[in-house]
Amino acid sequence: MTRIALAVEYDGSRYHGWQRQQVVDSVQARLEAALSQVADAPVEVVCAGRTDAGVHATNQIVHFDTPTQRPDQAWVFGGTHALPADISIIWARRVEPDFHARFSALARSYRYIILNRQTRSAVHHGHVTWWRERLNAELMHEAGQFLLGEHDFSSFRAKGCQAQSPIRTVESFSVQRAGDFITIDITANAFLHHMVRNIVGTLLPIGAGVQSVEFMAALLQSKQRALAGITAPAAGLYLVNVVYPEHFSIPEPVAIPGFYAPFMPA
């Protein structure tokens, strides 16, 4: 039995999330069907982080076990050929049996993209969140610094979150503006369900001047989801990087020019 790791890129717009479901379409189901064709046998995959309906990924990491022997490139090209155009396999490689896409991960990075202008975009529809009211990215960045470190993130936890503990460690947080686009980058050891989208929803009134920067600190301490902002739309969210121990030799993502370029460590 061989363990294979893959990096997968997908546009989540028309899928009901990553996780395989019986009735609706999912990224996992599509990927498993494609890899099963290459393996000529059933394949089940495990991912680094399950994304919600409408959420995208530029560097989702998965693994699967198979008795089928294929060159790495066969998994890449054969698998991608069998996938719809909005899902692509970036690379494939054999890994040690103790590698686990989810449990071996040291950190995950997400990027949230906001188009902040008066008119919506036709080109970026479904790939960014449009916010008409002018936002101050500097205030949003300042507020986000209160999230750094280990905290109880209950204030940003979805009601149906199944995580055993709300304690998470945020390693980096930044908000930057480039023209009409605001990008929010956050890296943590792990994330609660809807954690990033709930944080973004809380930053929006801060950026608009409705709430103070200090509101973020008070909210974090309150541990009350009801006091936080909205759950921001899924369209602007991307899983962009997963970090593993060096001995697994998992490739780092390659920067993609443009507004959706994945977060790259300094």
What confidence tens digit (pLDDT) does each residue in 67-91 have? Answer: 999 999 999 999 999 999 999 999 9
Report residue 266's pLDDT band, with 50, 70 and 90 as the boundaries: very low
For residues 250 and 265, the model is more confident at: 250
pLDDT at position 165 over 50: yes
pLDDT at position 260 over 80: no
Which of 11, 25, 52, 180 is catalytic? The answer is 52
What percent of the chain clears pLDDT 70, i.e. is strictly above it? 95
Q: Which of 3.30.70.660, 3.30.70.270, 3.30.210.10, 3.40.50.300 would CATH assign to domain 108-238?
A: 3.30.70.660
Would residue 65 show up in a list of annotated catalytic residues for this protein? Answer: no
What's the pTM value of the predicted model, to 2 decimals?
A: 0.93
pLDDT at position 22 over 90: no
User: Among candidates 140, 193, 143, which has minimal Cα distance to 168?
Assistant: 193
Report residue 23's pLDDT band, with 50, 70 and 90 as the boundaries: confident
Domain 2-104: state its class: alpha beta
Which residues belong to CATH 3.30.70.580 in the chain? 2-104
User: Among candidates 224, 94, 116, which has minimal Cα distance to 178?
Assistant: 116
Mean pLDDT across the chain: 93
Number of H helices, E strands in the chain: 6, 10
Which residues belong to CATH 3.30.70.660 in the chain? 108-238
